């Protein structure tokens, strides 16, 4: 099933009312998804969390990030399976970068599974550098999987808006 490329999309703050749709996308995207509690706790803690939705198409993508002293740590970013490969991940990363700039934070950090070559390539295209490795960071089918730590310096002039999303 191909998602409509021209759907009118909107980016807005995630609320507890979005968690069912977020969980459906999360479990469809990952072998070891975040739990409902992870999302509820993130919202309760006041982390930056947004969803991209479309009228008649539901949830397209979402992210959760935590602000630190001089950094924004991207904890989760996901594009629903049907919407992948259409530029929504890159657009959402631009929005996250814009938030970091607006908050006056100098860098954006994330961890990604070492085996997730598609995501790592996207992050590199967006300017992230691989700066470290966290051994055994992620649960996996057998034992645990390493995480690649990636970082992006953030210009305090926000990048352009989220392409195709209001």
Each residue's pLDDT tens digit, 41-100: 999 999 999 999 998 899 999 999 999 999 999 999 999 999 999 999 999 999 999 999
How far apart are the C-alpha atoms of 57 and 54, rounded to whole Å?
Answer: 5
Q: Which of 47, 62, 123, 138 is catalytic?
A: 123
Q: Which of 111, 130, 138, 145 is catalytic?
A: 111
pLDDT at 3 over 80: no
pLDDT at 164 over 60: no
State how many domains the chain has: 1
Position 140 scores a pLDDT of 85
Which residues contact residue 138 at a Cβ distance below 8 angstroms, ignoring those fewer than 6 apart?
Answer: 32, 113, 144, 145, 146, 147
How far apart are the C-alpha atoms of 91 and 146, rounded to whole Å?
Answer: 26
Q: What is the domain extent for residue 27?
A: 9-153
Within a domain: residue 2? no
How far apart are the C-alpha atoms of 155 and 141, rounded to whole Å?
Answer: 39
Does 145 qualify as catalytic in the annotation? no
Within a domain: residue 160? no
Model confidence band, residue 38 (pLDDT cutoffs 50, 70, 90): very high
Residue 73 CB neighbour total at 10 angstroms: 18
Are 1 and 83 a contacting pair, CB within 8 Å? no
Within a domain: residue 70? yes
- Looking up residue 76, the CATH number of its domain turns out to be 3.40.630.30
pLDDT in tens, 96-140: 999 999 999 999 999 999 999 999 999 999 999 999 999 999 988
Within a domain: residue 122? yes
Within a domain: residue 91? yes
pLDDT at 163 over 50: no
Does 123 qualify as catalytic in the annotation? yes
pLDDT at 150 over 70: yes
Mean pLDDT of 142-147: 91
pTM: 0.87
pLDDT at 160 over 80: no
């Amino acid at each position: 099933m191909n998602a409509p490329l021209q759907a009118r999309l909107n980016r807005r703050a995630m609320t507890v009312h979005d968690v069912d749709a977020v969980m459906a996308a999360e479990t469809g995207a990952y072998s070891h998804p975040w739990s409902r509690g992870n999302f509820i706790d993130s919202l309760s803690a006041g982390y930056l969390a947004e969803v991209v939705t479309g009228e008649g198409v539901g949830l397209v993508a979402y992210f959760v990030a935590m602000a630190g002293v001089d950094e924004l740590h991207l904890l989760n970013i996901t594009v629903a399976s049907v919407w992948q490969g259409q530029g929504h991940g890159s657009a959402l990363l631009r929005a996250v970068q814009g938030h970091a700039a607006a908050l006056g934070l100098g860098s954006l950090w994330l961890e990604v599974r070492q085996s997730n070559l598609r995501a790592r390539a996207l992050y590199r295209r967006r300017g992230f550098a691989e700066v470290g490795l966290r051994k055994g960071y992620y649960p996996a089918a057998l034992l645990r999987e390493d995480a690649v730590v990636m970082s992006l310096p953030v210009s305090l002039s926000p990048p352009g808006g989220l392409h195709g999303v209001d």
